[in-house]
Every structure is written in structure tokens, then in C-alpha cells.
């Protein structure tokens, strides 16, 4: 359980490079993620949380440092290549699914994440029964809407589908970027429970950005705080279990 | 009667343009202006090749390749060069004008008089007048539509659809969206050039100006098909393009019967297309349903 899966070493990422407005978003950031870690990521706006995810995902290229997956530097691999081991769920429900394609088609696309797509027929009908069982585990009516275009689903259904799609083909690393933030409190709680259940069951390695201190404390085995592009706080196991919202608030007050 | 047959034949021959444009306009969700250059490029390529003694079937396939090459350039400018798609298309379209004149040895119009064409094969030449284009057009559309429908149901085709639908999601699932756009532009422009080759052989000449208004004609087949047949699945919509193309020819026939000149057709085409595209707005503004309901509801 303590084998390093992903290591970020001395990662620097700047925006507006070589202009007077140059800002260092990730400032020599170091982070080691072990296989099986479920890490909740806290930090104020502009602390670099989303940038960290984009650096891991490959949407933003880093200026210096290393990103090692199982010891191999992947910092210069394309976004497409990294999807072989990486899955993401975005905050905006619109970003996670193809709106004009139906639920089953979206699932089929996700099942081949990071793999070669050739001129073989997609064989969607063969998968329908399996997809019905899978979506039934979400308990939100998705299973009866397999042939509905995802653009016609509710935000909660879409986000649950996005989550299901991200975990359908087991990712080595799962990045959740405030994936419940756009939902109403009840739907948000449901998806959070489901996320936790699935991550535990499948023993997924997961990073979850959240602004919800309770969620950050309740879920996961490890909690990190980003501040000015560095990891300023990192607790795991019993130390994390002993944390309270009051302690976190006072910590945030100290670093500001 | 022969006018009707002629209209159906023309509709079928031109329908391949609609299917080609469907790949970019409806699936990738952008307007590709390259087609105004690749249509005459296909015509010029086929006519030049036939004039030099090439077999008409091979010449028509060569036109497809020429169109695909132009689409490749638009795709590279757009994805790798980060030039907005509208401008990338206009650049290649403009460049095509010069290329087309080169292909036609500097002449603006090259005739196929006395040369072999697809329409002079034994079978087609034996058919009654105008039926040759109906048979050839129908054959081509059955093959092309079947191939496109098959392609869209493959894993690659699904990745292609997803690219146009939600690029962020497609990338996050490992789909190379740049390659998908380039592929779409190549196939689309290949089909448009293929259509240019068919039309040139049907007309008996290639003209350097025959590309003007092509995007409107291709769009008209797509939009008229959609307006006429309403809610359809993706596969049905592809078939509707061909029917839309035939309906569009009927509209032109009626317009000519009303006394307009052939030179007015570009104006008419644009007006028809603009009206069709504004239909949803009219429906809202005029509120047909509401008016109908009020008329019928006596209790109100």
C-alpha cells in the first residue's frame, strides 16, 4: 500500500510565460501519491488545485520538475496518452458527457478510454444489459434512460454518469475536480457516498478537490492543503482522523 | 415529366455534397469553406485526367484524393496552425482557385466534348434521357451513405462524433481530437470533390467558377432534409440529406417556372436556406400552437 504510484518532484508551472504578468502557479511543488491513497485536496482559490490536476492530466505543460508514474517520467506525454492510466471528472456536468450521444453510447466511449479505436463495429446492443445493471447501481434512474441523449439528463444524472464513465475502465489514478459542487445538497451527498463506496470497493487511487471541509475530513485516508502552489499541509491515517473543522479553520487563518 | 426526372437525377448527383458537408457542419459542428474550392478542384482534376486519357472511374477517384488533400491542408492549418476554421477554409478555398487554373492548363473552362465519361458507359448510355443521372446518382448515394453510416457506428466513428459533441470529454477519454478533425475534413472534402467530378462529367465541362455558392447548395440539402422530416436518428438524417437534395431541386424547378433566370438561382438558394434556418425563430415568434389552441378552445 505504500509503494509510490505518482510522484511530483520540484514541479514548476508558470502562466503568461516571458511577459510582465508571469505568475508561478505551481512553485516547486512536491507530492508523492501512494497506490490506494484517497486524498482530499483543499486550498483557497488560486492556490493551484486545478492547475495541479491539469499538470497531472497534461492539459498544461510544466516548466521544470518531474512527474513520475511508477518511476517513469510522463511529464511530456500528451493528454491522450495519459488517459491510459488517468480518468477525470470535471466540476461542470456539461464537460463530462457528449450531449447529443445517448447514455449507452457515452459508456461505450468511456470503456475504451486510452485504447486504440479502429474500424471495428461498436457492438452497442451486446452491452446494453450490462450497462443497465451498471447504471442501476447509481440509484438515480439512469438505467431506464440508456437511450436518452445525455443533454436531456438532469445535472445530477449527468454527473453520476460522468463518474461511472471515469471508473468503468479502472484508472490507475482518478482525479475528481469538485465533481459534486454544481449539484444540489442532497444529490451532492448521494454522489459523494457513491464515490466513496466505489473508491473503497475498487481500491482506487484518487485525488479529490473539494471546498467542503466536512467532506474533506469524512472521506479519504489523506488530506493535503495547497497554498501558493505548494503542499503546505499533508496528513494521513490517524492524524487525519483526529482533524476537526475547527483545527482546519485555524490552520487556514494562520497561513493566510 | 422529363423535368421531374431531371430534377431527381440532379438531386441525386448533388446529394453527395450534402453528405460530405454533413460530416463537418453537423458532426464536427463548424462551417468549412474549403468546399467552395474543392468542388471545382474535383471537377478540374477529373476533367483534366479524362482529357489525358484516364479511365473515368479512376479519374473520379483521383478527384476524391485531390479533395482529401485540400481537406488535409485545411485541417493542418486549423489544428496545428491554430488558424480559426472559417479563415483556414477561406485560405485553402482561395488557393484552390489558382490550383484549379493550373490543373486546367490556365483555361477557365475545359470541355469533355468527345471524351469518355461515366455517363457514356454502355449501360447508362442505353437508358432514356435523364435516367442516366438518376441511376448513377442513386447508386453512388446508396454506396456512400452506407459507408458513412457504417463508419459512424465503428469505434473510430464514435470517437469522431464525440469530438464534435464535446471536445474536452473526448480528449479526457484518449481520443486524439486533432486527428479526428483532420480526418473529417479530408473525407468531407474528398466527397465534395467526388461530387464535383460527377457534376462535371454530367455537364460535360469543368468551370473554374463552378464552386461559387456550393456551401449553400450543400447546406440546403442538409437543412431542407431536416426541416422536411423532423425528428430523426443520425442514420435517418444522413438518408434525409439525399431526399433534401432532391426537394431542393424541385424548389429550383418551381422558381424557374415562376419566371426567374438561371442566374438568379444563387440569390434564391440563399433566401430559401435563410428561411429554413430561421424556421425555429418564426415558430416562437408567431407561436403557431398557441394561436391554433386559442382558435379551437371555446371555453377560453
Q: What is the pLDDT of residues A180-206, one digit of tens each?
A: 999 999 999 999 999 999 999 999 999
Which among B154, B161, B169 has CB closest to A120? B154
CB contact under 8 A, A97 and B169: yes
Q: Is residue A61 part of a domain?
A: yes
For chain B, list residues with pLDDT below 50: 298-300
Q: Rounded to whole angstroms, how far apart are CA atoms A209 and A222?
A: 12
- Chain A CB contacts of B154 below 8 Å: 117-122
DSSP of A68-132: EETTEE-TTS-HHHHTTTEEEE-SSHHHHS-TTSBHHHHHHHHHTTTS---SSB---GGGHHHHH
pLDDT for A46 equals 86
Residue A106 falls inside a structural domain: no
Q: To the nearest whole angstrom, how far is the Cα of A184 from the nearest Cα of chain B?
A: 23
How far is the C-alpha of B155 from the C-alpha of B247, rounded, in Å?
Answer: 33
Residue B298 placed within a domain: no
pLDDT for res B212: 93
Is A249 inside any structural domain?
Answer: yes
Q: How far B114 CA sits from the closest chain A CA (Å)?
A: 42
How far is it, in rounded angstroms, from Cα B13 to Cα B245?
Answer: 9
Domain around A54: 4-96+171-255
Residue A225 lies in a domain: yes
Cβ within 8 Å, pair A83-B168: no
Residue A59 belongs to some domain of the structure: yes
Mean of pLDDT values over A18-22: 89
What is the model's pLDDT at position B1? 74
CA distance B151 to chain A (A): 7
Measure B217 CA to nearest chain A CA, in Å: 26
> What CATH number does the domain containing A238 carry?
3.40.50.300
pLDDT category of residue A138 using cuts at 50, 70 and 90: confident
How confident is the model over A81-94, as a mean pLDDT? 94
Q: What's the CA gap between B249 and B3, in Å, rounded?
A: 10
Any domain includes A226 = yes
Band of pLDDT at residue A121, cut at 50, 70 and 90: very high
* Domain assignment of residue B81, given as a range: 2-209
Min Cα distance B76 → chain A (Å) is 18
B156 contacts on A by Cβ (under 8 Å): 117-119
Q: Would you say residue A164 lies in a domain?
A: no
Residue ranges of chain B whose CB lies within 8 Å of a chain A CB = 150-151, 153-159, 161-162, 165-166, 168-176
pTM over 0.90: yes
pLDDT in tens, B87-134: 999 999 999 999 999 999 999 999 999 999 999 988 888 988 889 999
pLDDT at residue B290, rounded to an integer: 62
The number of folded domains in chain A is 1
Looking at residue B300, its pLDDT comes to 40
Q: Is A178 on the interface with B (CB under 8 A)?
A: no
| Assigned domain for B133 exists | yes
Mean predicted confidence (pLDDT) in A66-76 = 94
Indicate whether B278 belongs to any domain: no
Q: Which of B154, B166, B172 sits opposite A83 (nearest CB)?
A: B172
Q: How far is B83 from chain A (nearest CA, A)?
A: 20
DSSP character string of B122-156? HHHHTSPTTHHHHHHHHHHHHHHHHHHHHHHTBHH
Interchain proximity B155–A110, CB inside 8 Å: no
- On whether any CB of chain B is under 8 Å from the CB of A110, the answer is yes
Cα–Cα distance between B211 and A212 in angstroms, integer? Answer: 59
In a domain, A240, yes or no: yes
State what percent of residues in chain A have pLDDT above 90.
84
* Site from B168, B174, B187 to mutate, A interface, most A CB atoms within 10 angstroms: B174
Give the one of A105, A118, A124 whose C-beta lies nearest to B156's C-beta: A118
Contacts of residue A164, Cβ cutoff 8 Å, sequence gap at least 6: A107, A110, A134, A135, A138, A142
Report pLDDT for B230: 83
pLDDT at A221 over 90: yes
Position B180 in a domain: yes
Whole-number pLDDT of residue B280: 81
Kindly list the residues from chain B whose CB atom is less than 8 angstroms away from the CB atom of residue A96: 169, 172
Q: What are the C-alpha distances in Å from A250 to residues A41, A174, A217?
A: 17, 30, 15
Q: Which of A50, A95, A99, A100 to mutate to test the interface with B (most CBs of B within 10 A)?
A: A100
Tally of domains within chain B: 1
Residue B286 lies in a domain: no
Looking up cell 463506496, which residue turns up? A197
Amino acid at each position: 500500500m505504500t509503494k509510490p504510484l505518482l510522484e511530483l518532484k520540484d514541479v514548476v508551472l508558470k502562466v503568461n510565460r516571458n511577459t510582465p504578468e508571469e505568475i508561478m502557479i505551481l512553485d516547486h511543488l512536491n507530492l508523492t501519491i501512494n497506490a490506494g491513497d484517497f486524498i482530499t485536496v483543499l486550498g483557497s482559490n488560486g492556490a493551484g488545485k486545478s492547475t495541479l490536476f491539469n499538470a497531472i492530466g497534461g492539459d498544461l505543460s510544466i516548466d521544470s520538475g518531474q512527474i513520475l508514474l511508477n518511476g517513469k517520467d510522463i511529464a511530456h506525454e500528451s493528454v491522450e496518452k495519459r488517459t491510459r492510466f488517468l480518468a477525470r471528472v470535471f466540476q461542470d456536468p456539461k464537460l463530462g458527457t457528449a450531449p447529443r450521444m445517448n447514455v449507452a453510447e457515452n459508456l461505450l466511449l468511456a470503456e475504451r478510454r486510452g485504447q486504440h479505436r479502429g474500424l471495428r463495429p461498436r457492438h452497442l446492443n451486446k452491452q446494453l444489459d450490462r450497462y443497465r445493471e451498471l447504471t442501476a447501481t447509481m440509484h438515480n434512474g439512469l438505467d431506464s434512460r440508456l437511450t436518452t441523449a445525455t443533454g436531456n439528463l438532469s445535472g445530477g444524472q449527468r454527473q453520476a454518469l460522468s463518474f461511472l464513465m471515469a471508473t468503468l475502465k479502472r484508472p490507475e489514478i482518478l482525479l475528481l475536480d469538485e465533481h459534486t459542487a454544481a449539484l444540489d445538497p442532497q444529490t451532492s451527498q448521494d454522489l459523494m457516498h457513491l464515490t466513496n463506496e466505489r473508491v473503497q470497493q475498487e481500491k482506487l487511487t484518487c485525488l479529490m478537490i473539494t471546498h467542503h471541509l466536512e467532506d474533506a475530513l469524512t472521506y479519504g485516508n489523506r488530506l493535503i492543503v495547497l497554498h501558493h502552489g505548494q503542499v503546505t499541509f499533508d496528513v494521513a491515517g490517524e492524524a487525519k482522523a483526529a482533524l476537526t473543522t475547527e483545527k482546519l479553520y485555524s490552520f487556514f487563518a494562520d497561513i493566510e | 415529366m422529363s423535368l421531374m426526372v431531371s430534377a431527381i437525377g440532379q438531386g441525386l448527383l448533388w446529394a453527395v455534397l450534402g453528405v460530405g458537408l454533413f460530416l463537418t457542419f453537423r458532426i464536427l459542428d463548424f462551417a468549412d469553406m474549403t468546399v467552395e474550392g474543392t468542388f471545382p478542384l474535383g471537377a478540374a482534376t477529373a476533367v483534366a485526367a479524362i482529357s489525358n486519357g484516364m479511365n473515368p472511374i479512376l479519374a473520379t477517384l483521383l478527384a476524391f484524393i485531390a479533395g482529401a488533400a485540400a481537406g488535409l491542408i485545411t485541417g493542418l492549418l486549423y489544428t496545428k496552425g491554430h488558424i480559426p476554421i472559417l479563415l483556414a477554409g477561406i485560405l485553402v478555398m482561395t488557393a484552390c482557385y489558382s490550383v484549379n487554373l493550373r490543373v486546367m492548363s490556365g483555361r477557365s473552362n475545359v470541355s469533355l466534348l468527345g471524351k469518355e465519361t461515366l455517363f457514356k458507359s454502355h449501360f447508362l448510355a442505353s437508358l432514356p434521357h435523364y435516367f442516366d443521372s438518376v441511376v448513377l446518382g442513386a447508386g453512388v448515394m446508396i454506396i456512400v451513405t452506407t459507408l458513412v453510416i457504417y463508419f459512424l457506428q465503428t469505434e473510430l466513428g464514435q470517437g469522431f462524433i464525440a469530438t464534435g459533441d464535446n471536445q474536452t470529454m473526448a480528449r479526457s477519454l484518449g481520443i486524439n481530437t486533432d486527428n479526428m478533425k483532420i480526418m473529417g475534413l479530408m473525407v468531407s472534402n474528398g466527397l465534395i470533390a467526388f461530387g464535383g467530378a460527377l457534376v462535371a462529367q454530367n455537364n460535360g465541362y469543368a468551370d473554374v467558377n463552378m464552386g461559387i455558392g456550393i456551401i449553400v447548395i450543400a447546406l440546403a440539402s442538409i437543412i431542407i432534409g431536416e426541416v422536411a422530416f423532423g425528428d430523426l436518428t443520425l442514420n435517418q438524417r444522413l438518408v434525409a440529406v439525399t431526399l433534401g437534395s432532391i426537394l431542393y431541386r424541385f424548389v429550383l424547378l418551381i422558381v424557374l417556372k415562376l419566371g426567374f433566370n438561371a442566374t438568379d438561382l444563387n440569390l434564391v438558394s440563399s433566401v430559401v436556406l435563410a428561411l429554413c434556418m430561421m424556421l425555429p425563430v418564426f415558430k416562437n415568434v408567431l407561436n403557431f400552437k398557441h394561436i391554433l389552441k386559442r382558435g379551437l378552445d371555446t371555453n377560453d
